[in-house]
Amino acid sequence: MKALVFYQFGDPEVLRYMEVPDPQLEPGTVMVRLKAVGLNFADIYRRRGNYHLAGIPPYILGYEGSGIVEQVASDVTAIQVGERIAFADVPYANAELVAVPVEKAIPLPQDITYAQAASVLLQGMTAHYLVNDSYRIQSGDDMLVHAAAGGVGQILVQFGKSKGARVLGLTSSSAKREAALGAGADEVLLYNQDWVNEAIRWSHDGNGMYVAYDSVGSTLMDSFAAVRTKGTVVFYGMAGGDPVFLDPRMLMDTSKTLTGGDLWNHVTTRANRIERADALFEEIRQGRLRIEEPKLFTLAEGAEAHRLLESRTSTGKILMIP
């Protein structure tokens, strides 16, 4: 099969599109011919060497995608050849074929396209647990969304609005501001503004936001400044750099809450994955969740796709098509 691989850590130029051995069909797995592969910042971090990679080169990135089952292991009865499935956490997906453990295989309904599934699963399930588990959004809440034009950000905006929240977005450019407004945000501020004080003034009573969803990291203390007494900051990413160390006495003095978020603590069984995925698919069907048209690259154009994501000039999802 063909795959996008790299032998050493570095810039996108280290990526190569080449022939590699097909994966092995192990017990409890199905072989999937991929139709669409999602690109995520974790792929960038792994390519750079920021995240640990086991094994020896060549390394294959990617862990989110969708496709058709071509083979099933002899012990697999829940999935048949020819079924459409998707997944959000299966390694080595930057390839034509991938072996998917049954517990991570999500049935893909006929009315959801391969591109939709590869665009929405990882980011959509992340947004789903953030607004339902990390901090349960209530009608009337003032909700601050960092990186509101990104994949997770746009879905958070839409989920917040569907739950009746007042949603304030943050973006880095005017173009991204328009994308966040297009997703339904009530207002969007730019990072180069005095956004902390603007957010406080924008809140319905001038006391600050109820919750801030922070995926930037380096903005963590600003997020705390923007939320009200007894407010909550949900920290779930470090796209802008590591956060500073936090003095827990601040939490005591202000009665504010810091909670962390990691998707894999919330989808620990196949039933969890299917339940959250089905909820996303239903939101799409009902028109309450609109996914921006993804940017498409062939798998052979993987280096170009990485450059676009790394540039932080894109909005929405980037997909690679084997």
Q: What is the pLDDT of residues 223-275, one digit of tens each?
A: 999 999 999 999 998 888 889 999 999 999 999 999 999 999 999 999 999 99
Sequence ranges of the domains in the chain: 2-108+292-321, 127-263
User: What does the pLDDT average to over 140-153?
Assistant: 94
Cα separation, 288 vs 149, whole angstroms: 17
Q: How confident is the model at residue 192 (pLDDT cuts 50, 70, 90)?
A: very high
Tens-place pLDDT, residues 82-134? 999 999 999 999 999 999 999 999 999 999 999 999 999 999 999 999 999 99
> Is residue 321 over pLDDT 90?
yes
Cβ contact 126:277 at 8 Å = no
> Is residue 316 over pLDDT 80?
no
* CA within 13 Å, CB half, 18: 10
User: What does the pLDDT average to over 72-83?
Assistant: 97
> Is residue 52 over pLDDT 80?
no
The whole-number pLDDT of residue 56 equals 87
pTM score above 0.85: yes
User: What does the pLDDT average to over 174-180?
Assistant: 94
Q: How confident is the model at residue 311 (pLDDT cuts 50, 70, 90)?
A: confident
Q: Which of 184-188, 287-291, 310-314 has the highest mean pLDDT?
A: 184-188
User: What does the pLDDT average to over 37-41?
Assistant: 93
Enter the CATH code of domain 127-263: 3.40.50.720
- Residue 55 has a CB neighbour count (10 Å cut-off) of 8
H-state helical runs in the chain = 41-48, 114-129, 151-162, 174-182, 195-202, 220-226, 248-254, 270-285, 302-311
Closest to 208 in 3D by CA, of 190, 188, 230: 230
Q: Average model confidence (pLDDT) for the chain?
A: 95
Structure tokens at 309: 């994501």
User: What does the pLDDT average to over 273-297?
Assistant: 94
**CATH class assigned to 2-108+292-321:** alpha beta
The whole-number pLDDT of residue 238 equals 86
Portion of the chain with pLDDT greater than 70, in percent:
100
